[in-house]
């Protein structure tokens, strides 16, 4: 190295050195260099699995797998205690959906029907294209009233595209079936949306529990 180099040049040189990072080949030892032991090891592992390990294959149609509780399968529309569709047609799921597979058409709740008297808005239609859906669960996240949930139903099949477009009745029937079977209990329950959509309110005598369930 020449002594005439200025400190700046030295620094530049240092920096230059640092710009390229060499990834050294791993040093191999004698045994590794022979290859054969490693090959033998590999073969031994393979053979061990072939002959001594238990097969983990599940015979699917006969053996049904048990899905974890957060599995994201076919959607359902939940019902409230009175059997009405829980959805208030806020379009949050439709807005959140990255695949644009949800289509809601809202309508004022039938005011002359006493069953609906304490509800303002309800989904006249609620359609999900299960083929377009990517099962990301955003709709479930977005739902302020926990009306839409993804069930653990994974084996969704159909003979036509039209068949895979689920309407409100179909989605509600998914709820009826899954909740009846007890497989997919309503997982989240954040309570009422507010007085405009739900009449029942907590009584004043007991302060609401801290943390979850608080509204307002």
Partner 1 sequence: MNWYEIWAELWPTLIAIGIILAVVPVVGLYATFVERKLAAAVQDRLGPNRVGPFGLFQAIADGIKIFLKEQIIPSHVHTFIYMLAPCISLMTAMFALAVLPYGPTPVNYFGGLRFIVMPGLDISLLIMFAISSLSAYGIILGGWASNNKYSLYGAIRSCAQFISYEIPMGLSVIGVILVAGSMNIETIVASQGSGDGISGWNLWWQPLALIIFFTSALAETNRLPFDLPECEQELVGGFHTEYGGIKFVLFFLAEYTHVVTVSFLTTLLFFGGWHFPGVPSEVTASYGILALQMLVLLVKVCGVVCFIMLLRWALPRFRFDQLMGLAWKGLIPLAMLNLVFLAVFESLGWHRWPLAVLSVLLFVAAGYWSAWQSQSFVRKASVT
Partner 2 sequence: MSTVFVNDIEVEVGPRDNLIQAARAAGVEIPHYCWHEALSVVASCRMCLVEVGEKKPDGTIAMGPKLVPACQTPAKPGTVVKTETAKVKTGQQMTLEFLLLNHPLDCSICDQAGECYLQDYTYKFGKAQSRLNEPKVQRLDKYHIGEQIALFTDRCVMCTRCVRFTREISGTAELQVVARGSVEEIDVFPNKPCNNKLAGNVVDLCPVGALCSKDFLYKKRVWWLKSQKSVCAGCSTGCSIEVDQNEDHVYRLRPRANPLAQGHFMCDEGRFGFKYVQSTNRLSGPTSKSIATVGVAASAVTKFNGNVAGKLFQPADLAVVDHWPAAIQEAREKIKAAVDSSASSFAAVFSPMMSVEEAYLLASYLKGLNRNVKLLMGPVPVVGEDDCYPKNVNGSAPTAEKTKFTIRAEKCPNRLGVEKVLKHFQGALVPIEDAIQGAHGIQAWYFVGGYATPDDSIGWVSPSIAKATEPAKLLIVQDIFPSVLSKRADIVFAGAAFTERDGTFINHSGLAQAFRAATRPPQASRADGRILNELCLRQGLYNTEFLRKEIASKIPSLESLSVGDLGVHGVELHQLVGAHL
Partner 3 sequence: MTNASFEPVLLARINKPDSASLASYKADGGYAGLRKALDMTQAQVIDLVKASGLRGRGGAGFPTGMKWSFLPQNITGPIYMCINGDESEPGTFNNRILIEEDPHQVLEGIVIGCYATRATTAYFYLRYEYGHCYRTLQKAVDEMYAAGLLGKNILGSNYSLDIHLHRGACAYICGEETGLIESLEGKRAWPRIKPPFPAVEGAFRRPTVVNNVETMACVTHIVNRGAEWFQSMGIAKDPNNPRDAGSYGPKLYCISGHVNKPGLVELPLGVTARELIDKHAGGVWKGRKAKAVVPGGISMGFMSEAELDTPLDFAGPGRVGCLGLGTAAVIVIDDHTSMVDVLYNACRFFAHESCGQCTPCREGTAWSTKILERIRSGNGKLSDIDLLLEISSSIGTIPGTTICGLADGAAWPIKTAIAKFRPELEEYIRSGRKSAAPQLVGAH
Instruction: Kindly list the residues in this chain that would bind partner 1 in the complex (CB under 8 A).
Output: 22, 24-25, 27-36, 39, 42-43, 45-47, 49-51, 53-57
| Per CB under 8 A, 206 contacts partner 3 | yes
171 and 76 in contact (C-beta within 8 Å)? yes
H helices of 131-198, in order, are: 138-142, 168-181
94 and 104 in contact (C-beta within 8 Å)? yes
Looking at the DSSP bridge assignments, the partners of residue 165 are 129
Nearer to partner 3, 57 or 206 (CB): 206
Diameter of the chain measured on Cα atoms: 97
**Which of partner 2, partner 1, partner 3, none sits in contact with 92, Cβ below 5 to 8 A by type?**
partner 2
Query: 14-20: long-range contacts at Cβ-Cβ below 8 A with a sequence spacing of 24 or more?
Result: none
Nearer to partner 3, 185 or 194 (CB): 194
CB atoms within 10 A of CB 97: 21
**Which of partner 1, partner 3, partner 2, none sits in contact with 205, Cβ below 5 to 8 A by type?**
partner 3
| Per CB under 8 A, 207 contacts partner 2 | yes
| Per CB under 8 A, 204 contacts partner 3 | yes
| Per CB under 8 A, 88 contacts partner 2 | yes
Residue in 82, 90, 92 with CA at minimum distance from that of residue 113: 82
Site track for partner 2 across 92-131, x = CB under 8 A: x--x----x--x-xxxx--x--------xx--xx-x-x--
Q: Enumerate binding residues for partner 3 (CB under 8 A).
A: 204-207
């Amino acid at each position: 190295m020449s002594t005439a180099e200025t400190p700046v040049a030295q620094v530049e040189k240092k920096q230059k050195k640092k710009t390229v990072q060499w990834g050294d080949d791993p040093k191999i030892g004698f045994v590794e260099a022979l290859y054969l032991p490693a090959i033998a090891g590999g073969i031994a592992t393979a053979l061990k699995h072939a002959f001594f390990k238990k097969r983990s294959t599940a015979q699917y149609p006969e053996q049904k797998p048990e899905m974890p509780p957060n599995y994201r399968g076919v959607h359902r529309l939940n019902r409230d205690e009175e059997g009405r569709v829980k959805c208030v047609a806020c379009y949050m799921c439709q807005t959140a959906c990255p695949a644009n597979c949800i289509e809601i058409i809202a309508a004022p709740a039938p005011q002359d029907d006493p069953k609906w008297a304490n509800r303002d808005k309800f989904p006249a239609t609620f359609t999900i294209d299960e083929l377009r859906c990517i099962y990301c669960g955003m709709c479930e996240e977005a739902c302020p009233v926990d009306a839409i949930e993804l069930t653990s139903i994974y084996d969704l099949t159909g003979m036509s595209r039209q068949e895979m477009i689920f309407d409100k009745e179909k989605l509600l029937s998914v709820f009826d079936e899954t909740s009846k079977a007890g497989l997919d209990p309503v997982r989240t329950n954040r309570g009422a949306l507010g007085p405009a959509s739900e009449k029942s309110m907590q009584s004043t005598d007991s302060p609401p529990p801290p943390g979850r369930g608080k509204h307002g």
